């Protein structure tokens, strides 16, 4: 009986200090960023609807060899100017070399609730590649209880994205021309969706009666091409997607 009573007391202590009722998500605008080396991209951290709270903390983990913080994060419109606001951050310090920590607490009675923008921060692009980011996010009620949230990181790709090669190229001979068709390219080589549709460059080589190497013959914005200018007896074709 004593053991059972102890379990009840422990459960009561845990539930009083950690509130599992929240389902607020932190997300970022923009949610996807493509940038070149040396570029700086500014992100705004937003939250969805929340209960009334007095503070938040978020830990963001990313590779500082690829991207790095530029300047200090700043409060967003949801909390900027609140009386008694203590806004702070810690950027990959020795004790936590993998973390960027951002948080704020209101010391007073002017609390806040989502949705809205919590803070802004900027990253400079140092190396080419995909930037994986993970994180954890929580808030605190006015009584000090914690509310767990969910963290939805932005997708970041540094350097120009190379589109995938067009798939399922088919060629039909109509009797007077070669009719080429292919599937649309929607992703780059890293698997990220393309921000804009690519253009397509059509290449042709001649096998007979004399060999000539592949050379571009036209650039189109469609998913088909009709070649009626080939004079040889046997041709080869390929199509390349291009981001201009």
What is the rounded CA–CA span in Å between residue 3 and residue 107? Answer: 40
3-state secondary structure of 154: coil
Same structural domain for residues 63 and 25? yes
**What range does the domain containing 198 cover?**
170-242
218, part of any domain: yes
8, part of any domain: no
Task: Please identify, among 100, 129, 158, the residue that sits at the C-terminal boundary of a domain.
Answer: 158
Q: Judge residue 60's burial from the number of C-beta atoms within 10 Å of its C-beta, 0-12 exposed, 13-18 middle, 19 or more buried.
A: buried
How big is the chain by its Cα radius of gyration, in Å? 28
- Model pTM score: 0.64
Same structural domain for residues 34 and 111? yes
What is the rounded CA–CA span in Å between residue 212 and residue 240? Answer: 19
Tell me if 166 sits within 8 A of 237, measured CB to CB: no
Same structural domain for residues 124 and 43? yes
Same structural domain for residues 119 and 196? no
Same structural domain for residues 148 and 194? no
237, part of any domain: yes
Task: Please identify, among 129, 158, 187, the residue that sits at the C-terminal boundary of a domain.
Answer: 158
The region of weakest confidence among 3-7, 49-53, 140-144 is: 3-7
What is the rounded CA–CA span in Å between residue 155 and residue 131? Answer: 7
Same structural domain for residues 115 and 186? no
Per residue in 147-197, pLDDT (tens digit) is: 999 999 998 888 766 788 898 899 998 888 899 999 999 988 777 788 788
Same structural domain for residues 130 and 177? no
The region of weakest confidence among 42-51, 85-94, 122-131, 219-228 is: 122-131
Q: What's the total number of domains in the chain?
A: 2
What is the rounded CA–CA span in Å between residue 33 and residue 211? Answer: 44
Same structural domain for residues 120 and 28? yes
Same structural domain for residues 212 and 137? no
């Amino acid at each position: 009986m004593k053991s059972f009573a102890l379990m009840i007391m422990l459960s009561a202590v845990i539930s009083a200090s950690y509130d599992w009722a929240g389902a607020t998500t932190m997300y970022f605008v923009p949610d996807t960023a493509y940038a070149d080396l040396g570029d700086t991209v500014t992100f705004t951290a937003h939250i969805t609807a929340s209960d009334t709270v007095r503070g938040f903390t978020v830990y963001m983990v990313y590779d500082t060899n690829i991207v790095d913080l530029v300047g200090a994060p700043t409060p967003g419109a949801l909390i900027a100017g609140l009386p008694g606001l203590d806004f702070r951050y810690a950027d990959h310090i020795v004790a936590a070399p993998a973390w960027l920590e951002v948080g704020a607490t209101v010391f007073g009675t002017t609390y806040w609730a989502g949705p809205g923008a919590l803070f802004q921060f900027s990253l400079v692009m140092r190396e080419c590649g995909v930037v994986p980011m993970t994180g954890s996010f929580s808030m605190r009620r006015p009584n000090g209880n914690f509310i767990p949230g969910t963290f939805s990181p932005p997708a970041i790709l540094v350097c120009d994205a190379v589109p995938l090669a067009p798939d399922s190229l088919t060629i039909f001979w109509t009797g007077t021309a070669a009719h080429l068709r292919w599937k649309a390219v929607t992703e780059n080589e890293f698997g990220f969706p393309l921000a804009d549709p690519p253009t397509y460059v059509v290449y042709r080589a001649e096998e007979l009666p004399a060999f000539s190497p592949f050379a571009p013959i036209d650039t189109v914005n469609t998913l088909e091409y009709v070649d009626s200018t080939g004079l040889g007896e046997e041709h080869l074709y390929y199509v390349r997607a291009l981001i201009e």
